[in-house]
């Protein structure tokens, strides 16, 4: 049976709180939309309640000191635990004025308020009071009040359990019930006005625009009718040319737009007529509306754990649509990305989904479509010119393209272009126009942008690892992924399709002919050849790790990258190589918060002429963590996988607790106190929220949910008490030694 990369068995991943049966931890919509839940059953004729501050002020005016009535034991031991009767607006105002001195609508360990607020208990009809203490409970109160206000509640009965909830449970719940929903998009009439408007449209007339491939005429008619029915949104519907070339993409930059993705036929409940509806997908962060490449795979790992299988399946089908009509899984579905892909993960993603749905009707056809799409992408993108290096047989990130990448901010390349502007004695804008159109020839500039585009295709934008050389590098990450494609396709054809997969015309490329039969043997030979080439060019026996290979200089590079562990994920390494990596390489990358992207030694010293890059030391990213955990588990290095997962999860949980529920794109994995603060290049996504975080960040959300499947039950409990790894392992060892001593 074909199978994706193995996922470790789940630990104690499910919640076991008995109060959950009573809806204490319902999602915000369920919890705050129900009126009955917030009508205080203890309230008699006197229903007036007071926020802390307003009541105190009345006592102050009268010169009285209010007797302090604590909540009774009866309240806290009731069926649902302690509950508070809260007037939302006044309490929110009091909380912020007292605990949020910097006015950013977040309560963190850096705020110097008294860190205590008194609430009225519901069981006493607001008569008794109880103190809410500490950053975590107060920030949770802020989040709950913000949500209650959004749902229009004036008064709520709030369970204390939502304020002192185990942080691992709370973050897991937020991801499952809120973050995924906040990041889910679909492209159709319900969203096109916003989604088709490109925030990177620097033209004089930015407007919603969508490009539809010629192979999807029903979509073209759908969007044309939508534009006619709603002229006020100014939707520009364009039909893509049959053949996409770098010249066509360059000329489209004057009219950038969204690219259509897959749609399904549904019946409109209002009209009873058949119409189209966009297949949903998850975006990386809240500001995005387009489908991204490798982000989607990483997100699917979390979606599948959270049993959001239909959403992960829908994303696979969107990828198949992109390969069928655009020739590749794109960097993202915007017109200026048409020549550029991203790290390929389709086979593993499809097999993981298939494993969940294989007993459902249509599952086999779903897998057939995904494998055929992967075969087409493999041949037309990754093992064809210009990405294939014919000498080594290895592949490179080397997308086509002309001119200056249009998606960057206007000033992004000023320091690169200014010398050429001065050389030609024309204005900046005039130089860019003439250079893009080929009227000005600058080979050195062509070389610079060749590598710049390659860096963006790699997903690692940016890093000194790829500075001025990316398009020439046969990287360990890309070739590990292609090895995984080859082994996945071979096993799937052999075990699922009885060693016979017929290729229809729409998936044929190069010398392939419609109806030709793919067998496992050719794919077996391909992965064996790639394994030999990886060992020859990328493996370094002395260092015990893999390095990139420069196909231009014919030399192995020396930059130490955490992508070396992708070889474990893909199954490229021999047991001996895997052991060497754990012994020699792992200590170079393991830091406080897990794996760092690259070593300090490889990055070198920073300065005015050498600023920090976000994919270098000291930053850590979710994909590097997840692939390493899975790879280590694959080779039975369970202890190392658990340790790395614990470090990453602890860092995220600690920042979540200390900084008002924050979950961000990347972390400084060397900083114990505020790892979410990143000052490199683009800063950090996920910081800018008011009151309550709504989305987190896609692959970090996934890494949290997925990581909880890696750690054991004991570790999960320790994470819930915010126990640092070193403290945890010391306690485990002491307990083990004590047990052994008792046996002697």
* Residue 203 confidence (pLDDT): 82
pLDDT, tens only, 274-298: 999 999 999 999 889 999 999 999 9
pLDDT, tens only, 580-635: 999 999 999 999 999 999 999 999 999 999 999 999 999 999 999 999 999 999 99
pLDDT, tens only, 388-433: 999 999 999 999 999 999 888 767 899 999 999 999 999 999 999 9
* Residue 303 confidence (pLDDT): 98
Name the catalytic one among 159, 299, 461, 472: 461
* Residue 78 confidence (pLDDT): 52
CA dihedral 147, 152, 154, 155 (to 10 degrees): -60
Is residue 461 part of the annotated active site? The answer reads yes
* Residue 6 confidence (pLDDT): 55
Q: Find the helix or strand (DSSP H, E) in which 540 lies.
A: strand 539-540
Which of 608, 588, 587 lies closest to 598 in space, CA to CA? 588
What residues does 341 pair with on adjacent strands?
330
* Residue 14 confidence (pLDDT): 42
Contact 565, 632 (CB under 8 A): yes
Contacts 24+ apart (CB under 8 A), 680-685: 680/611, 680/612, 680/613, 680/614, 680/616, 680/619, 681/462, 681/611, 681/612, 681/613, 681/614, 682/614, 685/284, 685/285, 685/287
* Residue 10 confidence (pLDDT): 47
Contact 281, 317 (CB under 8 A): no
Which residue positions in the chain have pLDDT lower than 50? 1, 9-21, 44-52, 71-74, 77
* Residue 483 confidence (pLDDT): 98
Is residue 307 part of the annotated active site? The answer reads no
Structure tokens at 501: 């997969």
What is the three-state SS of 513-534? CCCEEECHHHHHHHHHHHHHHH
């Amino acid at each position: 049976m074909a199978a994706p990369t193995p996922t470790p068995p789940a630990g104690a991943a499910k919640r076991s709180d008995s109060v959950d049966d009573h809806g204490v931890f319902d999602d915000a919509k369920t919890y705050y939309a129900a009126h009955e839940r917030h009508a205080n059953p203890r309230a008699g004729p006197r229903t007036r309640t007071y926020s802390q501050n307003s009541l105190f002020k009345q006592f102050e005016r009268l010169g009285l000191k209010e007797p302090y009535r604590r909540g009774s034991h009866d309240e806290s031991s009731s069926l649902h635990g302690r509950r508070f009767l809260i007037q939302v607006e006044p309490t929110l105002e009091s909380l912020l004025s007292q605990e949020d001195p910097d006015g950013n609508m977040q309560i963190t360990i850096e705020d110097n308020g008294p860190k205590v607020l008194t609430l009225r208990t519901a069981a006493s009809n607001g008569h008794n009071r109880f103190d809410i203490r500490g950053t975590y409970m107060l920030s949770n109160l802020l989040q709950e009040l913000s949500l209650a206000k959004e749902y229009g509640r004036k008064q709520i009965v709030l369970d204390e359990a939502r304020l002192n909830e185990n942080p691992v449970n709370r973050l897991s719940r937020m991801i499952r019930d809120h973050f995924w929903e906040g990041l889910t998009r679909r492209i159709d009439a319900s969203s096109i006005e916003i989604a088709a408007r490109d925030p990177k449209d620097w033209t004089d007339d930015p407007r919603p625009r969508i490009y539809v491939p010629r192979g999807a005429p029903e979509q073209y008619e759908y969007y044309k009718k939508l534009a006619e029915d709603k002229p006020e949104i100014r939707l520009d519907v364009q039909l893509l040319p049959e053949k996409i070339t770098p010249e066509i993409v360059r000329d489209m930059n004057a009219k950038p737009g969204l690219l259509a993705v897959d749609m399904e036929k549904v019946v409109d409940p209002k009209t009873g007529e058949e119409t189209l509806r966009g297949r949903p997908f998850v975006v990386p962060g809240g500001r995005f509306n387009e489908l991204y490449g490798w982000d989607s795979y990483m997100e699917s790992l979390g979606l599948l754990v959270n049993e959001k299988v239909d959403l992960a399946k829908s994303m696979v089908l969107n990828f198949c649509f992109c390969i069928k009509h655009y020739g590749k899984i794109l960097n993202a579905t915007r017109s200026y990305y048409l020549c550029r892909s991203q790290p390929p993960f389709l086979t593993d993603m499809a097999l993981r989904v298939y494993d969940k749905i294989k007993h459902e009707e249509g599952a086999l056809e779903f897998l057939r479509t995904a494998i055929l799409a992967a075969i087409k992408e493999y041949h037309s993108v990754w093992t064809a010119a210009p990405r294939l290096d014919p000498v080594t047989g290895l592949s490179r990130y080397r997308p086509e393209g002309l001119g200056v990448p249009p998606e960057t901010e206007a000033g992004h390349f000023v320091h690169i272009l200014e010398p050429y502007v001065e050389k030609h004695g024309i204005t900046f804008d005039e130089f860019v126009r003439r250079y893009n159109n080929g009227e000005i020839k600058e080979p050195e500039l062509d070389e610079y942008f060749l590598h710049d585009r390659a860096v963006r295709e790699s997903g690692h934008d940016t890093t000194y690892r790829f500075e001025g050389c990316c398009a020439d590098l046969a990287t360990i990450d890309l070739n590990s992924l292609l090895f995984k494609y080859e082994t996945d396709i071979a096993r799937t054809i052999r075990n699922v399709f009885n060693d016979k997969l017929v290729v229809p015309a729409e998936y044929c490329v190069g010398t392939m002919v419609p109806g030709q039969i793919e067998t496992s043997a050719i794919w077996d030979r391909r992965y064996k050849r790639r394994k030999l080439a990886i060992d020859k060019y990328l493996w370094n026996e002395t260092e015990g790790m893999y390095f990139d290979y420069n196909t231009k200089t014919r030399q192995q590079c020396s930059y130490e990258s955490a992508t070396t562990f992708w070889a474990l994920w893909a199954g490229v390494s021999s047991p001996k190589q895997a052991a060497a990596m754990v012994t020699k390489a792992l200590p170079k990358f393991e830091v406080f918060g897990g794996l760092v992207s690259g070593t300090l030694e490889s990055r070198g010293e920073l300065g005015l002429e050498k600023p920090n890059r976000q994919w270098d030391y000291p930053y850590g990213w979710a994909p590097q963590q997840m692939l390493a955990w899975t790879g280590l588990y694959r080779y039975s290095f369970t202890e190392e996988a658990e340790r790395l997962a614990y470090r990453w999860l602890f860092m995220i949980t600690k920042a979540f607790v200390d900084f008002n529920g924050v979950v961000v794109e990347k972390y400084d994995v060397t900083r114990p106190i505020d790892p979410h603060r990143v000052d490199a290049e683009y800063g950090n996504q996920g910081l800018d929220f008011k009151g309550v975080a709504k989305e987190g960040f896609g692959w970090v959300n996934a890494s949290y949910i997925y990581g909880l499947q890696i750690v054991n039950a004991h570790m999960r409990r320790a994470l819930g008490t915010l126990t640092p790894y070193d403290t945890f392992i010391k306690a485990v060892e002491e307990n083990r030694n004590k047990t052994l001593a008792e046996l002697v």
